[in-house]
Structure 1
Amino acid sequence: MLATARWLEATATDNALELLNVFMANELVGRAERNAAKAVVKRASGQARHARPFEGDRPPLAFR
């Protein structure tokens, strides 16, 4: 009976630590994804600010 209780306690502890690991990894990955998305938006807005507007019937990358 004591051996079963110790085994159950060890298994419960292992499961709790594994669950905590999954939660922490999920939070860190989510935070990294949000930061990456913000960086992409910031970079794209900076590029759009420096882009040349389309002029008439010329393609935007035409040489002058």
Structure 2
Amino acid sequence: MKDSRIMLIYSHYIGESYADDASAAIAKIYSSDKGKTWSERKIIIMPDEHNAKNIMSVSMLAM
């Protein structure tokens, strides 16, 4: 990022299962120290917002 932080956006499983069809949301975290420590997770997309069981496999493009 322009401010030198690292941002990681990833599939975050909700509940107790990690199976392919388990409930999952999209979350983001930041690091300001090259990945040594990370911010608290923030859920940015929940599956129920899109009438879905899970939201996975996010892709990003810097613009």
TM-score range, shorter chain: under 0.3
> Over alpha carbons, which structure has the higher Rg?
1
- TM-score normalized by the length of structure 1: 0.19
Decide which structure has greater strand share.
2
Q: Per residue, is there more helix in 1 or in 2?
A: 1
Higher relative contact order (CA 8 A, sep 6+): 2
